[in-house]
């Protein structure tokens, strides 16, 4: 297996690591994100400044954060997950911007209504944050629940997408 190619990108919500394999974009993590790559793994990957897919990913993320893009168009490589995780991540891709689902809804959609906890674990291990929109999954009562990149980021992403959930009032959830 060839090492992944990586690039740093500074989002409005903090530094991110983008990663690509020969098959597509395989990682978008906030620095320090739970379930992100370890420092040891990162050292084994090749950091690049100019790679077409990583440049396209950063341009699309920038357009997303400025409100000019609500659906990404990038080749994805989600092969690092189990078959079940991959099915959950594929289901996440069908949730449109501004909408949400509960973990239970997602489990039922996957014809496995008793797998709510397993769905939650798979959502939490999504390697392609924002682009595979795990932030659009809420608790059963519509409440905000954990997010591997930090709950404040989940709130900011939902607010950016115009999600109707009642979020804490603030002039901006984006740090200065």
Q: pLDDT band at 1, cuts 50/70/90?
A: low
Instruction: Say if residue 132's pLDDT is above 60.
Output: yes
Tell me how far apart the alpha carbons of residues 134 and 98 are, in angstroms, rounded to a whole number. 13
Span 156-165, average pLDDT? 88
* Cβ-contact 17, 42 below 8 angstroms: yes
- The predicted structure's pLDDT at residue 134: 95
Tell me how far apart the alpha carbons of residues 120 and 108 are, in angstroms, rounded to a whole number. 13
Active site residues: 134
- The predicted structure's pLDDT at residue 170: 42
Instruction: Say if residue 3's pLDDT is above 80.
Output: no
Prediction pTM value: 0.89
- The predicted structure's pLDDT at residue 172: 43
């Amino acid at each position: 297996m060839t090492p992944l190619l990586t690039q740093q990108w500074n989002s409005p919500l903090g530094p991110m690591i983008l990663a690509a394999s020969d098959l597509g974009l395989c990682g978008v993590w906030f620095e320090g994100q739970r379930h992100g790559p370890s420092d040891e793994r990162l050292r084994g990957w090749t950091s690049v400044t100019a790679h077409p897919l990583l440049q396209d990913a950063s341009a699309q993320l920038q357009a997303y954060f400025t409100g000019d893009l609500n659906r990404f168009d990038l080749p994805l490589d989600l092969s690092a997950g189990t078959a079940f995780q991959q099915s959950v991540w594929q289901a996440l891709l069908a949730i449109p911007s501004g909408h949400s689902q509960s973990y239970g809804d997602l489990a039922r959609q996957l014809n496995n209504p008793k797998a709510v906890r397993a769905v939650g674990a798979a959502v939490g291990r999504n390697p392609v944050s924002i682009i595979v929109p795990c932030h659009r999954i809420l608790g059963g009562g519509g409440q905000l629940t954990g997010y591997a990149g930090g709950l404040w980021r989940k709130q900011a992403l939902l607010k950016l997408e115009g999600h109707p959930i009642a979020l804490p009032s603030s002039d901006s959830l984006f740090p200065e």
